[in-house]
A and B are shown apart, each in its own frame.
Chain A
């Protein structure tokens, strides 16, 4: 609409710099000089999948401890360096990966890399810090016990993924957190941390090659000969008939519910059909069809939506809502009816076109900030999508047909084989 309008600039082969460091770490970098700042993100395969049931929460505990002290700096010194220049960095733990992220003004980028390297290579797990963190984690568990949505979600995962690593809460239980020792943490670090499988994305006001050189200097020398690779994921057990569970939480005004089934993996060919179908079901506009019947028409809930959690393995495909305890069964019935309708007749031409337009139109928004682009680069690498993924994206989205959505819905959703988990009074 203007003479000097900006061009859409989707990351692609010509401006994503991808290189492997001498020790195998994969680096993806892209420059953006709009602001004098840099975002960084990455992951390595050291998630909770390696924990035993007895030490549940170990990977989470380790990730929280990485910046609590290294061979060269104390906890306070690490954060003092970061915060003094307005930079930030953090680690988080998932089932498969330990992930990290950070940002800084461009002049402080070397500091960010230095602290990343120290935290990954040389954490010392100081005894006093570990004990302080243990109390923080136990407090987190006490709060979780009182949270209707956390408790409903936890029981949902337990039932849906019975016997599978996805069934376990990554933050553990009181008794497992109490049983984890400093030695457990050191051993976890020695065995599973290393350059194999590690990926880093750098986006911001820096030449991509220079960013990669800087990473080679601080992390290229990291060698861990015996680094243990991730075990294969077991298959998920199919749900044979609808199962229901209610977790009683006294003194609450609202109940939470989660209803769902197992969905596809991110790499499965029907991922886009499932994702667009899910958008119609419980995302588009005011939370899709689910929002329409539960919130807009019946006024039962402030939030009612669906989500598709496709990742490395098959994730959940779930509907969640928070409702007055007296309306719990009514809401469950409405949601089940919507699921039946969804697998019976799929989506309309108009609904599909709406969600397709939404997916294509919103892409520039999700890639606006440096951290948004860093996340996109990591997505490309993690699921092997190809450097031109975001340029092919529109075609893939528009290529999904009504028949694809219906076929995918029927493949994954059986309204008579649902897991229904609720928590509240």
Chain B
């Protein structure tokens, strides 16, 4: 993949990342803000996600419902999402229509209305979104694991927010949040596709540079104290299926151990984007009938977060047996050096997934902005090289350091049949 990009900071502090790709008449534009659920205090959990919803509820220039229709009319694809550390909005458009997306993002960076009537109707939409999540056993379990893993750090709560806060958040809570975080010096705009950099940059300056700079918001940072001893708990709910989630502490995306841990994850749970039926956990847990499904999952985050192994218990096993089988597999990685061939294989897998990803302009624009939320573009361009540098000794060391029972949380979803 060609990685040459243009990186510019506008006079008001907004960062711009541009990458020309002339394979199809398409441009993808991603606007990122440094705000997410980790910036929320008790009482207003979910405010970042709700603010994201309100960004579709209109400005004077683009009233509610005009904005999404305007993008769709041009054949564009658009969406937005809120995560723990960031919030993003994207539009992928026919190349000659991208100006609409840029005008829209510039406008809603500081002209959104937050009309009280729209706030009221969106409240029930978001409550409905949460109720939909609550229907899923795995959401109930995942949310509980997170709440137990983080007592102090705001990674404690789910992005959607707690139901009590969704009932209590006011229009002013939302608007204050918007004004505080939606400022150019807290934003990154990334575009990839069929444009000429000079012309595009000129247009971006015209639209975004007049937006006044604000006070750069500080981020809520309450480090989670070390966990002293394993925590096991259960949640109960309807159904016949037992889910288990085991969460280990994982360092931030910029920690030197992040790359060995990525390779470790590929060996243990499989490389994301592939079928993962020859991962160690699949062979030992699914193939040997401890679990029906198993997956490993880590997120690139600013502060230390979690590595989670999620399993569906095989009907003939008890959760303790499944956890013991997982422990045995982790112990192997701690005790026995991984072969160099196995590491080479993991790197080839990651390279293939990278190549597939570069077929898609939207995906390339995504990466330019996403990495800025926790690191810089270099993180992305050196990713494969950093994976290739990982040694068997590194794998053993991180397995021993991060995968100790004393710092993990184990949650079990106990099914109570159909009468729960």
| A contact residues vs B (CB 8 Å cutoff) | 1-9, 34-37, 75-76, 79-80, 82-88, 90, 103-105, 132, 135-136, 138-139, 142-143, 145-148, 249-254, 284-286, 292, 295-303, 322-324, 354, 357-365, 367-370
Please give the distance in Å from B130's CB to the nearest CB on chain A.
8
Q: Is the CB of A1 within 8 A of B96?
A: yes
Q: Is the CB of A142 within 8 A of B241?
A: yes
Contacts of A135 in B (CB 8 A): 289, 292, 314-315
Q: Is the CB of A251 within 8 A of B278?
A: no
B125, B130, B134, B277: the one contacting A299 at CB < 8 Å is B125
Q: Is the CB of B275 within 8 A of A324?
A: no
Closest partner residue, chain A, to B292 (CB atom): A139
B420 touches A (CB below 8 Å): yes
With contact pairs A3-B196, A86-B349, A139-B241 given, residues A369 and B359 touching in the complex (Cβ less than 8 Å): yes
Q: Is the CB of B345 within 8 A of A368?
A: no
* Residues of B contacting A: mostly: mixed
Contacts of B270 in A (CB 8 A): 83
Please give the distance in Å from B313's CB to the nearest CB on chain A.
9
B271 touches A (CB below 8 Å): yes
Interface string of B345-371 (1 = CB under 8 A from A): 100111111011011111000000000
Closest partner residue, chain A, to B122 (CB atom): A299
Apart from the given pairs A6-B25, A88-B274, A301-B128, 15 other A-B contacts in the complex at a CB distance below 8 Å? A4-B22, A8-B24, A83-B270, A86-B274, A86-B351, A86-B352, A132-B287, A135-B292, A145-B240, A250-B418, A254-B134, A300-B125, A324-B128, A361-B94, A369-B360
- Pick out which of these stretches binds chain A: B73-81, B170-178, B300-308: B73-81
- Pick out which of these stretches binds chain A: B31-39, B63-71, B209-217: B63-71
Please measure, in the bound complex, the distance between the C-alpha atom of A296 and the C-alpha atom of B131, giving whole angstroms: 17
B343 touches A (CB below 8 Å): no
With contact pairs A3-B196, A6-B24, A298-B121 given, residues A354 and B73 touching in the complex (Cβ less than 8 Å): yes
Q: Is the CB of A2 within 8 A of B72?
A: no
Contacts of B128 in A (CB 8 A): 254, 299-302, 322-324
Please give the distance in Å from A352's CB to the nearest CB on chain B.
12
Please give the distance in Å from B79's CB to the nearest CB on chain A.
11
Please measure, in the bound complex, the distance between the C-alpha atom of A88 and the C-alpha atom of B401, giving whole angstroms: 33
Please measure, in the bound complex, the distance between the C-alpha atom of A358 and the C-alpha atom of B360, giving whole angstroms: 20
With contact pairs A1-B199, A84-B345, A86-B349 given, residues A252 and B23 touching in the complex (Cβ less than 8 Å): no
Contacts of A357 in B (CB 8 A): 73-75
Q: Is the CB of B359 within 8 A of A79?
A: no
Q: Is the CB of B95 within 8 A of A6?
A: yes
Q: Is the CB of B135 within 8 A of A364?
A: no
With contact pairs A105-B355, A322-B132 given, residues A368 and B24 touching in the complex (Cβ less than 8 Å): yes
Interface range, B side: 35 or more
| B contact residues vs A (CB 8 Å cutoff) | 1, 22-26, 56, 64-65, 68-69, 72-77, 92-98, 120-132, 134-135, 137, 194-196, 199, 237-241, 270-271, 274-278, 283, 287, 289, 292-293, 312, 314-315, 345, 348-353, 355-356, 358-362, 416, 418-420
Q: Is the CB of B69 within 8 A of A136?
A: no
Provide 7 A-B residue pairs closer than 8 Å at the C-beta atoms, listed in order of the A residue. Answer: A2-B95, A88-B275, A105-B355, A145-B240, A146-B238, A146-B240, A354-B69
A7, A34, A36, A299: the one contacting B124 at CB < 8 Å is A299
Contacts of A296 in B (CB 8 A): 64-65, 121
Contacts of B97 in A (CB 8 A): 361
With contact pairs A254-B134, A361-B94 given, residues A285 and B69 touching in the complex (Cβ less than 8 Å): yes
Q: Is the CB of B349 within 8 A of A302?
A: no
- Would you list the 8 A-B pairs with minimal beta carbon distance, nearest first? A361-B75, A86-B352, A299-B121, A299-B124, A302-B129, A251-B238, A253-B131, A2-B196
